[in-house]
Amino acid sequence: MELLQLRYFAELANMEYLSKTAEKLMISPPSLSSTIKKLENELGTQLFDRSRQQMRLNENGRIFYRYVQTALNTLDCGVLTLTQTNCPILKVALTSFPVWIDMIYAYEQSHPEVVLEYTVITLDELNNAPSPFPWNFFLGIIEDVDTGRFQSHKVFPPERPVVLMSVHNPLAGRSDIRLEELKDENFISVRRENSSAHNFMMALCRQAGFEPRKVYYGDYLMRVKLVQQNRGVNITTMVGATVNAIPLDTITAIPLSSPIMTRTQAISWEQDKLLSDMEQTFLDFAVGYFKEYPLMDPKKL
């Protein structure tokens, strides 16, 4: 797999028109088509649904695109760091990049004069970080941060938990469900301990009075596959399901009626810290971005 393939894929994913993308890349449409086909062959799956006029990302393509965009942004950030040493650097830490990556990309496009570095951290790294906090901001769940150390600005309303399960699960037709009713199910977690998503799931199960009898661990792609195969259920939020491209035609999201623990996406920084102009600009940009492009309709939370 070559870097050029990934860049061509990202451009085609953005435009979804072969001829227009090829023109922008200054290559021929057959050459672009051949490159994408080679990439799909290496991955063993199609990334686009093809028609005479368009090439639309399918579910596999949307999932892969998020990982590719993250990798390309990280690489570009490294290049900028080495080639533009006089550029100001803004460092952010986060626990779930799919929630924030589109906003980060938009900020980078709007503020090319700033090098934005982001690091995915565990909850232990967040809670045990030295003072002063080594990042300008933490982007993540407000319930995960120490409110005695950090102040926060919410960018989205509190999210209620939902249970993801296969449409073939006998309980899939329910309008809501109590977590106690799932105590005999296997559970699926995206990461092991020190993961915000994993800790959220485990805390809810313990409030419901049980420990999951078996937990499968994997990345977001593995979670989708295991839930689709009815190998287990997963606890997340509608925002979490949306940003991770959960295919809701094969997986249903059922609101959890009890117990309830909310998750609230926020931008956090150390108490009593006076924000610089660069930091304030980033904060204002992020807040404005999610107002214009909310992760999903708040009425559906």
CA distance 194 to 63: 24
Dihedral angle over CA of 301, 291, 241, 300, nearest 10: 20
- Residue 60 makes CB contacts below 8 A (sequence gap 6+) with 45, 46, 47
Strand order in the sheet with 251-258: 177-178, 251-258, 161-166, 234-237
Kindly state the tokens that stand for 220.
């977001």
Q: Which residues of 24-52 are buried (b: 16+ CB within 10 A; e: fewer)?
A: ebeeeeeebbebbeebbeeeeeebbeeee
pLDDT at 84: 56
| Per-residue pLDDT tens digits for 240-262 | 888 776 777 899 999 999 998 99
Residues of the chain short of pLDDT 70, as ranges, are 53, 77-86, 191-194, 245, 296-301
Q: Which domains does the chain have, with CATH numbers?
A: 3-57 (1.10.10.10), 88-157+264-300 (3.40.190.10), 161-258 (3.40.190.10)
pLDDT at 301: 47
User: Which one-letter amino acid corresponds to residue 267?
Assistant: I
Verdict on whether the full-model pTM lies above 0.85: no
C-beta of residue 180 within 8 angstroms of C-beta of residue 210: yes
pLDDT at 294: 87
